[in-house]
Chains A and B, each alone.
Chain A
Amino acid sequence: MKVKVLCRNPDDYVRETTRDIQRVPRNYDRTLHPFEVPREYTRALNATKMERLFAKPFVASLGGHRDGVSCLAKHAKSLSTVLSGACDGEVKVWNLSRRECLRTIPAHEGFVRAICSRFCGTSFFTVGDDKTVKQWRMEAPGYRVREEPLNTILGKAVYTGIDHHQSEGTFATCGQTVDIWDEQRTSPIRSFSWGVDSFSCVRYNPVEVRPLSAHLKNVPLLFQVIMKLRSNTLCWNPMEAYNFTCSNEDYNLYTYDMRYLETPVTVHMDHVSAVLDVDYSPTGKEFVSASFDRTIRIFPKDKGHSREVYHTKRMQHVICVRWSADNKYVLSGSDEMNIRVWKANASEKLGVLTSREKAAVQYNQKLKAKFKNHPKVRRIAHHRHLPRDIFKQKRELRDMKEARRRKEQNVHKHSKPGSVPIVTEKEKHVVTVVE
């Protein structure tokens, strides 16, 4: 007789001392793990619920401005430094990690229209309603020394936007014309104008050696897209630099491929009022938009609807918004004089994560992605609370759109075949493209 009976030595399965970690022998046999799909589904559902539970995006509010915040700018080199300009002409320099104001500069009379940091981070430029462009040093002056600009350029008309080149000593401003300046000169090197319209925003393309793109009813340099309503700002995608997104007065954002400007690549709809500002994340996968409807929204670059909406009771019309260079935070400046810091990913845990936490986060992310189309998971993941008036407005807009669509359909149905073309949502908003 030959016999062997299962007999385990407990020493192989129990830890030796209490200071040891527990032994966890594994066996991946499938019959030992029944219900793998329902259990994963349950985990995914729980992960989605937890995500919504821990979605506390608001980090801090930086108060101190005495008028609405009109513009924000990131420091080119330092993550923790942010510049902001207000409607009363004041410029403030903030330290984000300490959440305090480092400097206050009475920069302009009237609005500060735009700020940009020089690529080296040693100085920054401001333009204001007093028709001047001023360059300031980034460090604060010594004790009892007056704040004075490094340079001041007096212009003929009001400037509305400014942007600095990524690696050279040139910058561009816009207003009645788009001017390209050399830092060493007091007159523009070149100046462009198209028609009689004024420009609201100018941005250098982040990879292009040559400039830039400027904007009236949406005007990149060599092409001009004329849209039905005014575009407010524009932002280049930092990773795919031929794509840019512009925020428009007609509540939408439009992403264009600059090689095919006839129709936008994507129309981003969700805001219920004019969109005032837009900024891309450094990864180029998402962008954040600020709107007159007192919310900021985060859109994936290729999706028509937002994945996230941030609002608070106290936040009024949001005028400017920036995505921090570490891809973790979003800054918004609004009418009621505050700059708010939000998490870019609402439920993300801040601070250092242990390796087990990281693993858990990754596992949960994968699960959520796997089951994202299941109705229960989807409902929880997509639900966002909206203030009552915005919610109502959204419903109203939807009804209006539906009515318009119905009417178009009816017109199409009852007219001679071919006489009424079907115009897609993308084609609707572009009037013409001029080279």
Chain B
Amino acid sequence: LLYIVFYGVSRLILRSYLKPPKRYWEVNAGEENGEAENTDVSPNQDNISKEQPDKIRDERRQKKKRSHGSFISGKKDPFPGEAPIPNEQLKKFQRGEKFQVVIAFRLGKVKETILRSEAASDLALKQAARYDLLLPEESGFLEGDDDEDTCTILQEDIADAVDITSGAKYFNLHLTQFGPYRLDYSRTGRHLLLGGKRGHVSCIEWQTKNLTCEINVMETIHDVKWLHSEAMFAVAQKQWLYIYDSKGIELHCIKKFNNVLRMQFLPYHFLLATASATGFLQYLDVSVGKEVSAIGTKLGRLDVMAQNPHNAIVHLGHPNGTVSLWSPNQREPLVKMLCHRGGVRSLTVDRSGTYMVTSGLDRKLKVYDIRAFKALHSYFLPAGASCLSLSQRGLLSAATGDVVQVYRDVWGGGSMSKPYMAHRVRGAVWGVDYCPFEDVLGIGHEAGFTSMIVPGAGEPNFDALDMNPYRSTKQRQEWEVKALLDKVQPELIGLDPGLLSKVDQATFEQKHKERVEALGYDPLATEKFKPRLKKRGRSSAGAVERRKKKVAHEDQKDTIRKTVEERMERENERKVKAQEQAEHGTRTALDRFKK
């Protein structure tokens, strides 16, 4: 008791220190304060002292608000408060839904943490949305005159109309000797890798037209792919997979990967996924040189392959019209969907991982929502499409024979009768690929390579911490180290890449299993009754059964008694409550002081 008094006194002293000096305009307020102090001795003092800082804060806030609206000169701010952010912009950066904090949340600390983190993410969201204004570049576009179709505009005309540097992005490489060509752009979009069917490989810094290396591997080439940087590339040759460096020196010949037809590189996992003629889907970790997994798909020759950039799932197309989705962690396909009546000729996935576009021998082009595995649109192309590719901004290029057509707004359900752009090349098309961060479509065909200008294809603003086309050697080296440190383990590949951040609501069985493991025994298990062996003929089978039954009955009785008691208790409680309510009628806010 003595202590409590001391405690109170010390609080009083503290309070008097905190109080600001009295001012002449505070006559009334002072009286109020005095009253408050008189009541101070009561045990409620805590509430009062807590309220005071709140009041001060509120006043400050109000003052701030006032300062927004008016100046000393009397002028008014025509745009008070912070600038509004359009809702669409906010939506673009939103991750998940806001957590609704229940007002009657008991756990004060948890509530506080949640509120604080919500506020922080809110701020981050707003800042990111505001930053969009500062992005330096705008995307390209192509608009025809009044009754001019954009698809009739020739590449030469576009090249003439735009500035010289952009115009130079339309060019042809006549390589008739070793064609047809497959191609791949590096992730920065600076380097181009060409691989001719008859063994010709060349790396070109395509904007400066600088040839970094040119070799002939003297073997059939099925596919070429850049690895994580422009220092290394993989070539799928007649029998084995080879890795060369940017000078064309053979670094590895990987004999475990044979008869590879198509390759995909998963940049954040440092995995090279290969699909072979023998039906094997293999993953090579290029950072350590280890085969991560080899899956026998048992689905025949695999020559249609694409990756989902959103979740690193590999999509394979098959001659029976199915598309299967694979992760390195599972021997069976994650999903198998029937997409076409004939075989699947080509497929591609957009970069947000929402849409998949496939084309098949039935001359259909289909758009799927791969979150719901649902077909959205089906278009009929008279000649069918052999190669498909999606640009960063969602333009679809489809090659039919020697014509490459570019479509706009494919998943919006726009008409496919008129393409956005079209271009005829000199031979049958073997590979199309959009150059990242540029309005350029690369086409590999029988007579060489064509670089085509497609306005509005590339993402105008890159993020230099992720991919920087203008990076120096030093920056590339640093990026490489960072990227390797952030390498995502192949075990984390799954349909939902955000799964790790979600709350794992373990099922009751799981929790129970863990508990049993931790304790070493099952706390919920009821031990089976084992009747003791009795002598003198009392342990006959019938007697044992009878005893067992007796025990079982008793157990049952116990449980029944318990439930009945619980029910009675609840009933009583309810009655008492009802009675109370009936006595008092409806309670008002002031009733709490009655007692």
Which positions in A face B, CB cutoff 8 Å?
Answer: 1-8, 10, 12-14, 22-43, 46, 207-210, 221-222, 258, 371, 374
Give the docked Cα–Cα distance between A38 and B312 (Å).
Answer: 12
Give the docked Cα–Cα distance between A208 and B100 (Å).
Answer: 42
How many residues of B are counted as interface, with CB atoms below 8 angstroms from the partner's CB atoms?
71
Write 21 A-B pairs (CB below 8 A) sorted by A numbering. A3-B140, A3-B142, A3-B158, A3-B161, A6-B455, A6-B460, A13-B464, A14-B470, A22-B472, A22-B475, A24-B465, A27-B463, A28-B128, A32-B467, A34-B309, A35-B488, A37-B497, A37-B500, A39-B488, A208-B10, A371-B500
Measured CB to CB, the closest approach of chain B to A85, in angstroms, equals 32
A13: chain B residues at CB < 8 Å are: 464, 468-470
- Other contacts beyond A30-B92, A41-B492: 8, CB < 8 A: A3-B162, A4-B138, A5-B439, A22-B472, A26-B131, A26-B464, A28-B131, A222-B2
B95: chain A residues at CB < 8 Å are: 30
Give the docked Cα–Cα distance between A37 and B145 (Å).
Answer: 46
Measured CB to CB, the closest approach of chain A to B42, in angstroms, equals 17
Give the docked Cα–Cα distance between A374 and B498 (Å).
Answer: 14
The reply to whether A27 and B135 contact each other, CB–CB distance below 8 Å, is yes
Measured CB to CB, the closest approach of chain B to A100, in angstroms, equals 42
Give the docked Cα–Cα distance between A6 and B142 (Å).
Answer: 11
The reply to whether B500 and A31 contact each other, CB–CB distance below 8 Å, is no
The reply to whether A39 and B162 contact each other, CB–CB distance below 8 Å, is no
B3 within 8 A of A: yes
Measured CB to CB, the closest approach of chain B to A337, in angstroms, equals 41
- A41: nearest residue on chain B (CB-CB)? B500
The reply to whether A39 and B486 contact each other, CB–CB distance below 8 Å, is yes
The reply to whether A6 and B463 contact each other, CB–CB distance below 8 Å, is no
B145: chain A residues at CB < 8 Å are: 1
Give the docked Cα–Cα distance between A26 and B128 (Å).
Answer: 10
B51 within 8 A of A: no
Give the docked Cα–Cα distance between A240 and B115 (Å).
Answer: 24
Q: Which of A3, A222, A258 contacts B143 (CB 8 A)?
A: A3
B153 within 8 A of A: yes
B165 within 8 A of A: yes
Q: Is the interface of B mostly helix, strand, loop or mixed?
A: loop
Residue among A3, A8, A46 with the highest chain B CB neighbour number at 10 A:
A3
Give the docked Cα–Cα distance between A289 and B467 (Å).
Answer: 50
A374-B462 CB under 8 A given contacts A1-B161, A25-B136, A39-B268: no
Q: Which of B142, B353, B485 contacts A2 (CB 8 A)?
A: B142
Measured CB to CB, the closest approach of chain A to B168, in angstroms, equals 10
B438: chain A residues at CB < 8 Å are: 6
Give the docked Cα–Cα distance between A239 and B348 (Å).
Answer: 61
Give the docked Cα–Cα distance between A133 and B95 (Å).
Answer: 66
Give residues 44-89 of B contacting A (CB, 8 Å).
none
The reply to whether A25 and B461 contact each other, CB–CB distance below 8 Å, is yes
B3: chain A residues at CB < 8 Å are: 221-222, 258
- A2: nearest residue on chain B (CB-CB)? B143
B131: chain A residues at CB < 8 Å are: 26, 28
Measured CB to CB, the closest approach of chain A to B487, in angstroms, equals 7
B166 within 8 A of A: yes
- B474: nearest residue on chain A (CB-CB)? A22
Give the docked Cα–Cα distance between A46 and B166 (Å).
Answer: 43
- B521: nearest residue on chain A (CB-CB)? A406
The reply to whether A5 and B166 contact each other, CB–CB distance below 8 Å, is yes
The reply to whether B500 and A374 contact each other, CB–CB distance below 8 Å, is yes
Q: Is the interface of A mostly helix, strand, loop or mixed?
A: loop
Measured CB to CB, the closest approach of chain A to B450, in angstroms, equals 16
Q: Which of B93, B311, B462 contacts A25 (CB 8 A)?
A: B462
B343 within 8 A of A: no
B501 within 8 A of A: yes
The reply to whether B153 and A1 contact each other, CB–CB distance below 8 Å, is yes
B99 within 8 A of A: no
Give the docked Cα–Cα distance between A43 and B489 (Å).
Answer: 11
Q: Which of A7, A12, A32, A374 contacts B162 (CB 8 A)?
A: A7
The reply to whether A34 and B268 contact each other, CB–CB distance below 8 Å, is yes
Give the docked Cα–Cα distance between A335 and B461 (Å).
Answer: 65
A42-B487 CB under 8 A given contacts A1-B148, A207-B10, A258-B3: yes
A30: chain B residues at CB < 8 Å are: 92-93, 95
A14: chain B residues at CB < 8 Å are: 470, 472
Measured CB to CB, the closest approach of chain B to A426, in angstroms, equals 20
The reply to whether B488 and A42 contact each other, CB–CB distance below 8 Å, is yes
Give the docked Cα–Cα distance between A192 and B499 (Å).
Answer: 63
A35-B470 CB under 8 A given contacts A6-B439, A6-B458: no
Give the docked Cα–Cα distance between A407 and B497 (Å).
Answer: 48
Would you list the 9 A-B pairs with minimal beta carbon distance, nearest first? A13-B470, A5-B166, A2-B143, A24-B464, A28-B128, A27-B461, A27-B463, A38-B488, A38-B492
Give the docked Cα–Cα distance between A36 and B486 (Å).
Answer: 10
The reply to whether B140 and A4 contact each other, CB–CB distance below 8 Å, is yes
A32-B462 CB under 8 A given contacts A2-B143, A5-B140, A41-B500: yes
B163 within 8 A of A: yes
Measured CB to CB, the closest approach of chain B to A158, in angstroms, equals 29
Measured CB to CB, the closest approach of chain B to A191, in angstroms, equals 18
Measured CB to CB, the closest approach of chain B to A379, in angstroms, equals 15
Give the docked Cα–Cα distance between A330 and B456 (Å).
Answer: 62
B137 within 8 A of A: yes
The reply to whether A29 and B488 contact each other, CB–CB distance below 8 Å, is no
- B170: nearest residue on chain A (CB-CB)? A5
Give residues 443-500 of B contacting A (CB, 8 Å).
453, 455, 458-470, 472, 475, 485-489, 492, 497-500
B465: chain A residues at CB < 8 Å are: 24, 26
Give the docked Cα–Cα distance between A210 and B157 (Å).
Answer: 93
Give residues 1-53 of B contacting A (CB, 8 Å).
2-3, 6, 9-10
Measured CB to CB, the closest approach of chain B to A380, in angstroms, equals 14
Give the docked Cα–Cα distance between A22 and B157 (Å).
Answer: 37
- A45: nearest residue on chain B (CB-CB)? B489
B497: chain A residues at CB < 8 Å are: 34-35, 37-38
B6: chain A residues at CB < 8 Å are: 208-210
- A13: nearest residue on chain B (CB-CB)? B470
Q: Bits for B563-577, please: 1 = Cβ < 8 Å to A, else 0.
A: 000000000000000
Measured CB to CB, the closest approach of chain A to B235, in angstroms, equals 26
The reply to whether B492 and A4 contact each other, CB–CB distance below 8 Å, is no
Give residues 183-213 of B contacting A (CB, 8 Å).
none
Measured CB to CB, the closest approach of chain B to A68, in angstroms, equals 37
Give the docked Cα–Cα distance between A2 and B141 (Å).
Answer: 8
- B392: nearest residue on chain A (CB-CB)? A31
Q: Which of B135, B140, B157, B489 contacts A6 (CB 8 A)?
A: B140
Give the docked Cα–Cα distance between A43 and B3 (Å).
Answer: 51
The reply to whether B139 and A6 contact each other, CB–CB distance below 8 Å, is yes
A374: chain B residues at CB < 8 Å are: 500
Give the docked Cα–Cα distance between A40 and B95 (Å).
Answer: 15
B144 within 8 A of A: yes
The reply to whether B140 and A29 contact each other, CB–CB distance below 8 Å, is no
Q: Which of B10, B143, B163 contacts A7 (CB 8 A)?
A: B163
Give the docked Cα–Cα distance between A8 and B165 (Å).
Answer: 9
Measured CB to CB, the closest approach of chain A to B500, in angstroms, equals 5
The reply to whether A38 and B460 contact each other, CB–CB distance below 8 Å, is no
Give the docked Cα–Cα distance between A33 and B497 (Å).
Answer: 12
A12: chain B residues at CB < 8 Å are: 136
Measured CB to CB, the closest approach of chain A to B174, in angstroms, equals 24
Give the docked Cα–Cα distance between A222 and B3 (Å).
Answer: 7
B437: chain A residues at CB < 8 Å are: 6
A258: chain B residues at CB < 8 Å are: 3
The reply to whether A7 and B165 contact each other, CB–CB distance below 8 Å, is yes
A5-B162 CB under 8 A given contacts A25-B461, A32-B459: yes
B169 within 8 A of A: yes
B351 within 8 A of A: yes
The reply to whether B135 and A38 contact each other, CB–CB distance below 8 Å, is no
B498: chain A residues at CB < 8 Å are: 36-37
A207: chain B residues at CB < 8 Å are: 10
